[in-house]
Structure 1
């Protein structure tokens, strides 16, 4: 099925990378449910980890105006630890249940921040650790944890370049850890690994376009659009698996 619709898949992957860069959530929040239309959930997890490794290296290179080293440690270390736990648990849960859970997760998260527009997380080390733990666990189990990490990091009021570079550095550690676990779980399906070179190009192109867009528009306005898109993807993810 994927070979037949490869141009559509690549196009949607580029859009996912652009939206993930501009929205600050990371591309996986879009890429995982989109890829799930074409592949089984476990193959999606493995492919997403590889895609994200390239994506985050590109973001660090393009948004290299400094990192928040304290936040990399306080949020990044628990994220790296718990992504491995989530990745291990994913082997023992029915992929269809994980897909439904992903849909409900995306719907709940988007509605929460669309309805409670003033909802914010306090910029404390404790909250950074909690956010890192939850985002890591979600990334390992569901393939995406960028939304939780982005919400946590927003409390620390960094400029866009620093925000994206710091998030990418944390995500790099998260993706490296879960890639190892997914490999031993058997998620690196040889039948889809041929997509890796395409996704490397997608990550570079999508991040570059996202950076250009960020320079011209209000991130807050676009974030609302992103939340509506996440809501739609969550609904579609559930409906197609009924």
Structure 2
């Protein structure tokens, strides 16, 4: 169930990235942007209400001793002392490198390099998102029978191959370059989801129940630091 929850979380994240710009564009054809921002506020409030309404299992509070520094970096200390989590940190760095290429350079490549209209940018981003969502749907069944490590390493390899393939794509003739570019972005999305979707399982196995909040917080902090 936890694996499927991770998969649905990844699916929801990618679906939101794909659907929200299209929905915003559609709404702007019938309402002004002031009303759109007001609707966004309502959406955030509704989301907060749903979060508050969720019942979480009660956990025993753990009193930690030591300095404020020790308490603050407790999760990071566990994270960096655990070999499998140090490997996860390297995979986080690989995922950040690949996805930053997609997020930052898609607009530049599509409009400046290929001289395509701005309306093609969402299709390029959708190719990445579709690859990620496809894996999010299929991965739980795979992980029911196989360990996380091969899938995550395969995902990182696919991202690396996709980035290097981009060099070749840039030299292709115009009629072939666009579909090859979409296929490359799709492959990077596949690798991205294969790498990150099982990470929650890895974190869960690497810490006891008392330390899991700190370890998950460390994952959040360190994975975002990889983007820097």
Short-chain TM bin = 0.3 to 0.5
Of structures 1 and 2, the one with the larger relative CO (CA 8 A, separation 6+) is: 1
What TM-score do the two structures reach when normalised by structure 2? 0.37
Larger-Rg structure: 2
